[in-house]
Chains A and B, each alone.
Chain A
């Protein structure tokens, strides 16, 4: 069976900066995987490379066996990405945004699923509101919804709870857990380590473009008895 995500020896440089320095990872189907590291560690660059927003200098990446360069259309159709930046198109309402995003992925008449996403993200009352009129937290919810419109088997959440309230976090994690339970692979980056500890079965720690630790959450925690994931993180980054 193909891995949900396979990353082999990926290098990406921006001028003198080596943003990804030979990263290799394999994430199995159905995993809830955490990608953690300080700012500038290369997490977002790695996700962007997987999503085709950034092109690797060398190495290979694939989604469910489909190369993200050679077979980019299939790879992208299998991937849903919640970007880190709070971006939106100011011309459209929430429902228009989600219908348009569905169409980009080749889906017409997707309203039943759109309604389900809106309900799960507590956006139903905002369905016909223009994106400009939403609060930051609401816009973040729409970003999550956009990533899910095509029911992607692999979902990447790049700091989805940054700057959002507790209620949304709880609702979002409940929904994402359900999707994971239904077989969707989840890849999460977050600076809230308690979230990663509670949700992720396996975690990769990145530092300066490299994977410096990769194991199950339980094994990482066991290496530092009595500590939290934050302790593991701090000690690993200090090494």
Chain B
């Protein structure tokens, strides 16, 4: 267990030492999104019976949580691989399960810190209520853990920084941006509504938003089932890659 806690502590320390970049910057980005979209659309659009700005805030919180959870594990692994310092965690007797848990937990913590930061910075701009905090917490934790594990897969797979950027910009960004952060999928044409249902991030954000307003595009129980299945699948895949030493041990 000491190996696990040390690796977790190291991963926490790694992002905390550059918190301006890893925590403060995403909070500012979310605030800018809110100021621009909220200014343009608030008063014109109402979603689920709340103002557009109120609707937007939970989506922005979750989007930044997910993107930063992914960024944490993926950037840590690719940097360690490229610089060669990955040997420091490969030489000791750390079991692959502990390796997985430490990276995912640290990613989750960074995601949650960013999420709390975004909420604290944006809550002043609209009326926000939390009607189902447990649902909110469950989707925040599962979503952050899934993206943390996905970040591990990307970090293991990528051999260069541009490959990781490709994974992030061509997969993670579209999945999170097109998941209902900025809109309810009921406002989309029927075809794109159906497409949205194949995006697992949609269920994370929709379920998370349910925790705030008690209303959502799909039932939170169904979203939870989808998100929990995704978490199990991504975890099993990541653990099997780590067990094989995929792209870590020649």
Considering only residues 20-76 of chain B, those with a C-beta below 8 Å from chain A are none
Query: Min CB distance, B245 to chain A, in Å?
Result: 7
Q: Is the CB of B87 within 8 A of A87?
A: yes
Query: Min CB distance, A211 to chain B, in Å?
Result: 21
Question: Could you tell me the distance between the alpha carbons of A102 and B7 in the complex, rounded to whole angstroms?
Answer: 11
Q: Is the CB of B80 within 8 A of A89?
A: yes
Q: Is the CB of A91 within 8 A of B14?
A: yes
Among B89-97, B155-163, B173-181, the stretch in contact with A? B89-97
Residues of B within 8 A of A14 (CB): 250
Q: Is the CB of B17 within 8 A of A72?
A: no
**A67-96 contact mask (Cβ, 8 Å, vs B): 1 or 0:** 000001111110101010101111110001
Considering only residues 41-65 of chain A, those with a C-beta below 8 Å from chain B are 48, 51-55
Given contacts A14-B250, A87-B84, A105-B3, contact A52 B14 (CB under 8 A): no
Taking the complex as formed, is A173 at the interface, i.e. its CB lies under 8 A from any CB of chain B? no
Question: Could you tell me the distance between the alpha carbons of A52 and B95 in the complex, rounded to whole angstroms?
Answer: 13
Taking the complex as formed, is A107 at the interface, i.e. its CB lies under 8 A from any CB of chain B? yes
Residues of B within 8 A of A52 (CB): 90-91, 249
Question: Could you tell me the distance between the alpha carbons of A90 and B89 in the complex, rounded to whole angstroms?
Answer: 15
Given contacts A55-B249, A87-B84, contact A106 B3 (CB under 8 A): yes
Residues of B within 8 A of A72 (CB): 93
Q: Which residue of A lies closest to B80 (CB)?
A: A89
Q: Which residue of B lies closest to A14 (CB)?
A: B250
Q: Is the CB of B84 within 8 A of A85?
A: yes
Residues of A within 8 A of B89 (CB): 104
Residues of B within 8 A of A102 (CB): 6
Q: Which residue of B lies closest to A88 (CB)?
A: B85
Q: Is the CB of B14 within 8 A of A104?
A: no
Q: Is the CB of B250 within 8 A of A103?
A: no
Residues of B within 8 A of A101 (CB): 88, 92
Q: Is the CB of B80 within 8 A of A106?
A: no
Q: Which residue of B lies closest to A77 (CB)?
A: B93
Given contacts A85-B84, A89-B80, A103-B9, contact A73 B249 (CB under 8 A): no
Taking the complex as formed, is A6 at the interface, i.e. its CB lies under 8 A from any CB of chain B? no
Query: Min CB distance, B101 to chain A, in Å?
Result: 14
Query: Min CB distance, A140 to chain B, in Å?
Result: 14
Q: Is the CB of B5 within 8 A of A103?
A: yes
Q: Is the CB of B17 within 8 A of A104?
A: no
Given contacts A48-B250, A91-B13, contact A53 B3 (CB under 8 A): no
Instruction: Among A81, A90, A103, point to the contact of B2 (Cβ < 8 A).
Output: A103
Question: Could you tell me the distance between the alpha carbons of A74 and B95 in the complex, rounded to whole angstroms?
Answer: 11
Q: Is the CB of B250 within 8 A of A104?
A: no
Query: Min CB distance, B145 to chain A, in Å?
Result: 23
Residues of B within 8 A of A89 (CB): 80, 83, 85, 88
Residue from A79, A104, A107, A108 whose CB has the most chain B CB atoms within 10 Å = A104
Residues of A within 8 A of B9 (CB): 100, 103
Residues of B within 8 A of A91 (CB): 13-14, 17-18
Residues of A within 8 A of B88 (CB): 87, 89, 100-101, 104, 146
Residues of A within 8 A of B93 (CB): 72-77, 105-106
Could you give 27 example pairs across A and B, Cβ below 8 Å? A48-B250, A53-B87, A53-B90, A55-B245, A74-B93, A76-B93, A81-B87, A83-B87, A85-B84, A87-B83, A87-B85, A89-B83, A89-B88, A90-B83, A91-B14, A91-B17, A91-B18, A96-B13, A100-B6, A100-B10, A101-B88, A103-B2, A103-B5, A103-B10, A104-B3, A104-B88, A104-B89
Residues on A lying within 8 angstroms of B by beta carbon are 14, 48, 51-55, 72-77, 79, 81, 83, 85, 87-92, 96, 100-108, 146
10 additional A-B residue pairs with CB within 8 Å, beyond A103-B2, A108-B2: A14-B250, A53-B250, A54-B250, A76-B91, A79-B91, A88-B85, A96-B13, A101-B92, A103-B10, A105-B92
